[in-house]
Structure 1
């Protein structure tokens, strides 16, 4: 990837982060304005509750993006699986119509695998517009980390350009804030000597990755 592509990818990832953070941070700002004007104790208590919820959502999203997109310097080369598991659980905390089934066979995963796992989960959650089930599994076999994320539910929503970003067929002109994360993990998998694949049905989306242990790391 040349310097221009690197700059474009970084810009699109920043746009995605800003887009996702705008709602909870905006709610914080609005809540503070209401709190400054409101004098009724009951209303102030309601506003405080909304502020706490918005602050929690903002914190969880920042933690997610730090590990999914960034260098995550606070972690070593391997991350305990409880960390991405907690971040994904937090993403669906306000989505009562999505349930998760876990099949994580390893106590830790390398940072590249964690990035792929988190971004797969984000794509799968976005696909479950009407709710459903999220099955997330990862294991190391024959010297490679294998990751599978399956979203099952009615009316799966999946942008085909995200699929093209995952399999490496994305045209440069199609790099947007929507496709940037998928493009990033495709580069990550390719650099490590692995690969990504996906399959979409009417009520199912399956995302898979094979990442050789000790492969390259972007970010």
Structure 2
């Protein structure tokens, strides 16, 4: 099936490679911090400070990997379904580890198609990046098993809709997709695979991201 978005042209190997680069980028910092903490212990530094650094960084790495497994990974066989409760826990743990954003989750708990859950979590990442100084993200799920609608309201300081997300959704990307822009690209690709339409709007107080099932 030909894509409706002219920007969705990456081959399978390129998509896989860029997603792997994204995941590695997300975990390399906390893993590096664990190594720093161990080096501090080896040098006879402050044991309590070193252990705090190791514990915090290990938690951060674990949370990021668990999130990536749901948002980017297979998470079961092809065509499998996922409990939205897992997605809720992954999103909230991610925000707690980052220590700057509160996540509010509204909607029924349900077992839904894997790609819809992946879309929801990737849209969460897009919304998360729209409030770089932190704030709140309120997620609402309506009828997730059938004619699903997802809404994420972002509130915080210095809000802005991620530029690459706007470019890719509008079909007007000027530069090649790279490891930094692969995540919004994957979000748009998942929406198309799920038969859902993405939208966003912004005011001075909030940014709203939506994904709605498209009626055939």
- Band of TM-score, shorter chain: 0.7 to 0.9
- 2:115 aligns with 112
How big is the shift at 1:137?
1.0
CA distance in structure 1 between the partners assigned to 2:137 and 2:118 by the alignment = 17
Matched residue, 1:11:
17
Number of residue pairs matched by the alignment: 209
Partner in structure 2 of residue 80 of structure 1 = 83
Q: Which runs of 5+ in 1 are unaligned?
A: 213-219
Structure 2 contact 139–153 (Cα < 8 Å) conserved: yes
What is the 5 A alignment of 1:49-128? Answer: 49-73=52-76, 77-128=80-131
SS in 2 for 1:27: helix
Show the counterpart of 2:182. 180
TM-superposed CA distance for 1:203, in Å, is 3.6
Task: Give the Å deviation of 1:95.
Answer: 4.6
Q: CA distance change for structure 1 residues 95 and 53 in 2, over 3 Å: closer, same or farther? A: closer
| Alpha carbons of structure 1 residues 139 and 63: separation in structure 2 relative to 1, 3 Å | same
TM-score between the two structures when normalised by the length of structure 1: 0.83
Given candidates 43, 56, 80, the residue that maps to 1:37 is 43
- In structure 2, runs of 5+ residues without a counterpart are none
Q: Aligned equivalents of 1:141 and 1:54: distance in 2?
A: 34
Q: Is the 8 A contact 1:155 1:203 kept in 2?
A: no
In 2: Cα distance, 1:53 partner to 1:99 partner: 18
Deviations 1:12-45 (A, max 9, x none): 222211211121011011111111121x6xx213
Distance 1:116 1:142, change over 3 A: closer
Equivalence for 1:204: 206
Partner of 1:216: none
C-alpha displacement at 1:170, in angstroms?
Answer: 4.6
Q: Secondary structure at the match of 1:174?
A: coil
TM-score (normalizing by structure 2): 0.84
